[in-house]
Amino acid sequence: MTEPQKIQVGAGMVVLTTYGMVTAETAQSLLEMRAFCERNGLRDIMWTWISGALVDKTRNEGVRTFLGARVNNQPLHWLVFIDCDMTFQPNVLDLLLATAYQQTPWADIVGAYCQLRGKPYLPTTDYGSGLWEASDPHCGPLEVIRTGSACILIKRPVYEKMEFPWYGVRPAPRPIDMLTEVDNFARIKMDGENPLREHPAWSKLETCAIQDAQRQQAQLPPNAPPGALFSSVGEDSSFCDRARALGFRIVVQTDAVVGHLDRNVITPDDHKKAMQELEQQQRWATGVLV
Amino acid sequence: MVLTKEERAHAESILDANPTLAPIPPKQVARILVASVIRKPSIVLAPFLRQVSTQVVERAELTFHWVTDFAASDTVAPEALTALSKFCSDTPRSTFTQHHSNLGADYGDGPTTRHWAPSAFARMGALKNQLIQKALSEGFDALWLIDADVICDNWTLQSLRDCEVPIVAGVYWTQWQRPLSDSAQIVHAGPQVWLRHPYQLDGHGYTEAEFRAALIARKLLRVWGLGACTLFRSEALTKGVSFAPVLEGLPAGPMSDGEDRHLAERARRLHLPLFADAWPDIWHMYHPAEYADGLKWQAQLSALRPVTPSFGDLVSVRITNLEQPGLAPQWVRGRLGMLGVVPEIEEALANLSVRDERVVRVHFPIHYPLEQYRLKSFLFHVKLLDAKHYRLPPVVSRELLVGAKTGAIVDATTLAPAQLEAALEEATAL
């Protein structure tokens, strides 16, 4: 059996992000990961906390710190964000680094496999649909167009090429609103005409946008507040969109599975469900399947 | 030394290279007191007496004791007493006594339902307590307390015994309010077991629809109220369960002072769980307008059953994991081939005759839902308690919409009136 291949990775920074709360589970994961890094020679790492601000400002502060920091008088090569409501295996940093510098060295951004808190607990993997898509863990590194930033490694060139602020929530008007804006802008600038309308793609896009708007309208409850149709792109997806536009590539290392802590109110329904599960287990243990 | 049949079989099995493993059956013959308080006309008594006296039971000796509660004004009394006398002279170990304090004014049949005054509940409770006392003082192993208008199939008592619990009632369904012939009112049948007093069919983890569905599926369930067809094992009686009124703690409402509520509450306080056994077919002769159907039901409830079940027949099964002694057995009821048990057990059942048992080795596959069982094998004891051709329980079957080809069931009580009307029209159109 051959020894695992060791690779040289430059110094980097781990930034833990929180508004103020650090869960016990995250603290435990962090201690174990730190011990793992020490044992395995991962020492050129700066560990820092950014707290007390909303998430986009926190991440921007983290990047600013990262870009200005030096280890052994050398600039840092990579930045890892870990949110303080995550749990992870001790080797998660090792996995992200191995992916970024050995398995898929062409990747500029490497995310872990992380799920959203709300049902159906989709993983933050977008393979090209513009939506979070259901996918399995433990399938190795997979290229995506977007992923979340709860546990993610970003290489330095991404931040150097992208303009400040790197992170920010982006309003997401409906396609019909954007087409209307472009149409209006074109007529203002082009003597009252929108030459793009002469292109066959325009009417096709407009038809799609109208259908999309009608579908959204139909799904709204009658008492929906004004503005219910407007949404926004989160700071992490927006960051991915900008990185992709600059030519950077993103993968999700689905072997790096991290947990997302949630809180819930225990209700009588939970008691009922738990009792039913107990009874079900007894039936299974007696060969009864239903 | 002379060996019994079982001992000889056991001795011979020692040399058998491929023995059939089975526990040696116990030899004890249980003494069971079958008892009732009776105030019914002979047209009701005839099928009742016939059915209780033809129960098919295993290693049990039945003793019958009736207490009559006729009022002086009851014109049906002489004929009923004659029928009882004849039964007692024809049937070994059967007796009856007459109770004379009923003034006849606290109970009666109305056009749609029965009417009870509190004094009737109290008198009924006291008389039933006398029957409990008789069972205790004469050392019976069990007491089957059954109302005189409850017509059971011939395997009811054995099914109650097979449940192996201190207190269990056979379940039947009754239209407690009988719709008048010129009424368009929808009246649903209800069981005589409930989850919350005085008569709530939801709670303890069930919605009403779930509870009804479980009973229709003939399951053995824990309940918090029961009556009228109840088997008490002696340990429950010895522990002190009775119909004596509890002083407080019962919610108000119709029937809240019924003696069965007091018994259920007493059992709860004694930590005696109550169970409902929905396996038997039982018809409640509740409405005088239906008395004429007694013979028809008697014939149906006595119909012969398959010795060995075929695919689709109803089976009642007890399954025990022999290698997990701390695990309670499971009582499974359903249609053979669709039971929802592991394949080895289902296949074994198809080769068993009723009351047969065998040990089955089950191999749990890699995808088995219980993780600790995956890729392991365990020995299970399987007993086919009973089998019968598929049919729905009496009375409630009237309000189930049943798919003609699949047998799929929709309980009419779970639909809004407009939905039910539409469903019936659509079914007619088919």
Residues of chain A contacting B345 with CB distance shorter than 8 Å: 287
CB–CB of B340 and A281 under 8 A? no
User: Are A164 and A83 a contacting pair, CB within 8 Å?
Assistant: no
| CB pairs A-B closer than 8 Å | 44
Measured CA to CA in angstroms, residue A198 lies from A22, A193, A195, B315 at distances of 56, 10, 6, 74
Q: Extract the tokens encoding A245.
A: 């536009």
Q: Is the pLDDT of residue B35 over 90?
A: yes
The letter for the amino acid at B138 is E
Whether residue B186 has pLDDT greater than 70: no
Residue span(s) of chain B under CATH 3.90.550.10 come to 30-302
Residue B250 has pLDDT above 70, yes or no: yes
CB contact under 8 A, B341 and A288: yes
* Buried/exposed code over B159-176 (b: 16+ C-beta within 10 A; e: otherwise): bbbbbebbbbbbbbbbbb
The number of folded domains in chain A is: 2
pLDDT in tens, B75-120: 999 999 999 999 999 999 999 999 888 777 777 776 666 677 777 8
| B171 Cβ neighbours under 8 A, 6+ residues apart | B191, B192, B193, B215, B229, B276, B277, B278, B280, B282, B393
User: What is the C-alpha separation between B353 and B154, in angstroms, rounded?
Assistant: 18
- pLDDT, residue B111, reads 65
Taking the mean position of all CA atoms in its chain, how far away is CA B350?
Answer: 25
Stated as kind and residue range, the H or E segment containing B62 is strand B60-68
**pLDDT at residue B236 is higher than 60:** yes
Min Cα separation A289/chain B (Å): 5
Residue of A nearest to B376 (CA): A285
Helix (H) or strand (E) holding A16: strand A12-18
Spell out the CATH class of B30-302.
alpha beta
What letter would DSSP give residue B29?
P
User: Quick one: A71 and A112 in the same domain?
Assistant: yes
Is the Cβ–Cβ distance between B130 and B101 less than 8 Å? Answer: no
Mean pLDDT of A239-255: 97
Our CA-based measurement puts residue B368 at a distance from the nearest CA of chain A, in whole angstroms, of 9
Closest to B315 measured CA to CA, from B214, B407, B383, B388? B388
CB contact under 8 A, B370 and A284: yes
C-beta atoms of B342 and A272 within 8 A:
no
Chain A interface includes B56 (CB < 8 A): no
Cβ-nearest to B319 among A276, A288, A290: A288
| Pick from B39-43, B304-308, B416-420: least confident | B416-420
What is residue A11's DSSP assignment? -
Average pLDDT of chain A?
93
Q: Which domain holds residue A97?
A: 12-168+234-260
Contact B321 A289 (CB under 8 A): no
Give B202's contacts (C-beta < 8 A, 6+ positions apart): B195, B196, B208, B211
Based on the fold, state whether residues A19 and A110 are members of the same structural domain.
yes
Residue type, B104: G
Whether chain B has a CB inside 8 Å of the CB on A282: the answer is yes
Cα pseudo-dihedral B245, B247, B253, B254, rounded to 10: 20
| Confidence band for B22, pLDDT divided at 50, 70 and 90 | low
Q: Residue A229 in contact with residue A90, Cβ under 8 Å? A: no
* pLDDT over threshold 60, residue B430: no
CATH of domain B306-388: 3.10.50.40
Res B16: pLDDT: 81
Q: Mean of the pLDDT values across residues A9-28?
A: 93
How many CB atoms within 10 Å of residue B372? 10
**How far does the CA of residue A267 sit from the closest CA of chain B (Å)?**
13
A141 and A242 co-located in one domain: yes
Per-residue pLDDT band for A140 (boundaries 50, 70, 90) equals very high
Give chain A positions within 8 Å (CB) of B369: 284, 289
Q: Write out the residue limits of the CATH 3.10.50.40 domain(s) in chain B.
A: 306-388
- Best A270, A275, A279, A286 residue to mutate vs chain B (most B CBs within 10 Å): A286
Is residue A61 located within the same domain as residue A201? no
Residue A274 falls within a domain, yes or no? no
What's the confidence (pLDDT) of residue B182?
67
Under DSSP, the state recorded for A165 is P
Q: Does A193 lie in the same domain as A209?
A: yes
Residues A142 and A216 in one domain: no
pLDDT of residue B114: 67
Per-residue pLDDT tens for A162-179? 999 999 999 888 899 999
| Mean per-residue pLDDT of chain B | 90
Residues B331 and B321 sit within 8 Å (Cβ to Cβ): no
Count other C-beta atoms under 10 Å from residue A140's C-beta.
Answer: 12
Whether A133 and A77 share a structural domain: yes
CATH number, domain with residue A161: 3.90.550.40
Confidence (pLDDT) at B227: 94
Mutual orientation of helices A235-245 and A55-68 as an angle, nearest 10°? 50
Is A281 part of any domain?
no
pLDDT at A196: 95
Contacts of B137 (CB under 8 A, 6+ apart): none
> What integer pLDDT is reported at residue B112 of this predicted model?
65
At residue B302, the pLDDT reads 94
Q: For residues A217 and A202, what is the distance between their CA atoms, to the nearest angstrom? A: 22
User: What is B133-160 written as a DSSP string?
Assistant: HHHHHTT-SEEEEE-TTEEE-TTHHHHH
Residues of chain B with Cβ-Cβ distance to A275 below 8 Å are 205
A286 to B319: CB separation less than 8 angstroms, yes or no: yes
Helix H or strand E encompassing B383? strand B377-388
- Tens-place pLDDT, residues B190-217: 999 999 998 999 999 899 999 999 999 9
Taking 3-state DSSP, the helix, strand and coil percentages for chain A, each rounded to the nearest 5, stand at: 40, 20, 40
Q: Does some domain include residue A108?
A: yes
| ipTM reported for the complex, 2 dp | 0.81
